[in-house]
Chains A and B, each alone.
Chain A
């Protein structure tokens, strides 16, 4: 499936591990969709399902994030560099409610709240894993 360019959302992106992996990641499993792999260009979305939404609760941070289920395809673009990566929704996350109001800025323009979690493959394609978090625009 091709990746679109219609604006969907903006916010902070973090990264997480899933699928077969090493270290503390080896116990994480293949995620809510059963397909998640760290080495694939995939993402976790806070409203992947009703059950997922009840865990992440982005609404508590004022984010009315739309439902996009397993298999949905999104383009994630680094706000600062403009580099982008295309990902498939494969898990539920991040836990938006735990970090309400958190902002990541780019030259003074800030994105608030954690709205997407990327696999290491996807995150490292647009940023450095050691940075942990990026401000992003999301398209579909």
Chain B
């Protein structure tokens, strides 16, 4: 069984290496891709593209060797060495440059993940298997055609599953189908304490787009300091500086608005505004909105 597995996996592995290697070697985008990999750390930014093309050439050679001349142990050993090299590089990149991309396949831009390691391990195992086994893979395949086709298909599937390039073909549709079948995992339960409650961020959004905010923008200095709900009101406290003839003093600016209101239900909310001196708790006069008075207001329709 092991022999059969290795025999049918070899051509798949060989083809994968050859195709991936050719894409790296001849791809127009290789230099740009290399710029994002940890290769830059090893050979420098100028030579990273060349280095990635060289890796591509090696992959192409080994892939072709595995597929075409399997009687010799050399291509298998070379593939195993390549796999071991990939593993070493990935391990180093993961530690030394975790933000760099993998550079594993021509289209992939993803970082180094467990899938990259698994793919490199498959190359190592496949190569070792090919080197250890005598005879050609096609003899073995000819002896058990059905089983060989099945294992080859399984190998191809395993390799596809390990490649993020193909996620949009199978993984995302699979996840969508699961959501359709099992329901949306984030559907509201309607029982929680927060169910149906207007988020504080929605109240802040409503406030920041109101005339009250506009009129206090010259006083308010901070972002939201604290907030609490009381008797159907939501109270939002900001810090500010109040300027008058006596000078500048630190103040608290309090806004009170309907705790159940949001931009959807109240596009022009009614907001209560209070300015308190931080030292004396004295209530300071709120200046009327400092915006141009216009006879007609053009209200643009809300996009839906």
Contacts and interface: CB of A to CB of B under 8 A. Distances in A.
Interface of A: 26-27, 78, 80-83, 101-110, 112, 127-131, 135
Contact of A104 (B209, B268, B301): B209
Nearest to B213: A80
Nearest to A133: B205
B34 to A, nearest CB: 15
A46 B240 CA distance: 35
B217 A105 contact: no
B191 to A, nearest CB: 29
B18 to A, nearest CB: 31
Interface in B210-224: 210-211, 213-214, 217, 223-224
Contacts, number: 57
Counting chain A CB atoms within 10 Å of each CB, the highest count among B201, B204, B213, B303 belongs to B303
Interface string B97-111: 001000000000000
Query: Which bracket fits the contact residues of B?
Result: 20 to 34
A127 B204 CA distance: 12
Interface in B144-186: none
B224 A106 contact: no
A136 to B, nearest CB: 13
A131 B208 contact: yes
A121 to B, nearest CB: 15
B99 A26 contact: yes
Given A27-B99, A80-B217, A130-B223, A107 B268 contact: yes
Counting chain B CB atoms within 10 Å of each CB, the highest count among A83, A104, A112, A131 belongs to A131
Nearest to A126: B217
Contact of A110 (B99, B211, B303): B303
B211 A107 contact: yes
B208 A105 contact: no
Contacts of B213: 80-81
Nearest to B201: A130
Nearest to A28: B99
Contacts of A83: 217
B302 interface: yes
